[in-house]
Amino acid sequence: MKIERLRLVVEQEEAGVWALRLLAGQGDISGARLGFEPNAVVFEGRIRIPLAGDVPFRTVWSLELEAGARVIVRLTQASAFGWSGGSGFLTGLIMEKIKTRLAGRAGFEITGDSLILDPGVLLTGLPVEVRLRVTSVTVEPGRLILETG
């Protein structure tokens, strides 16, 4: 048995549970919320920053395909204290935390301001063979849709 085509719809609530599970043990992030908005994934909450304490933060991420195989999740906006982080300190801090948290996990790669997901690798180990080529990824209010062929 094998899977060759798939349309995966992830509801915001389900993704939020997964994100919180991934953050387990990260005492410097609290009140986290993951949301799906038109063409964007939003992650916000509070983060403990050295010498500043707990401050509210908001990040906005875009999703795109790389050669139909991998999904690029790019940090397009980051703000804390109401200030935009751009490509400076805040963006670096966020990406370093993600890199540390995903270290050693197959299917994830961090490059600059991007998290690159390889669905083929992420789905290995399932009791059924999965051969997928991502054909589209769409973010709508409240849900994310990933289609493969």
- Give the model confidence (pLDDT) of 104-137 as tens digits: 888 888 888 899 988 777 777 767 777 778 888 9
Phi, psi of 112 (to 5 degrees): 55, -120
Q: Which residue stretches of the chain have pLDDT < 70?
A: 23-27, 68, 82-87, 126
Q: Is 9:31 a contact under the CB 8 Å cutoff?
A: no
Amino acid at 21: R
The residues, any chain, with a CB within 8 Å of residue 149's CB and separated by 6 or more, are 4, 5, 133, 135
DSSP H helices in 6-107: 12-23, 89-102
Determine the structural domain holding residue 118 and report its residue range: 2-148
Number of structural domains in the chain: 1
Q: Cα-atom radius of gyration of the chain, to the nearest Å?
A: 16
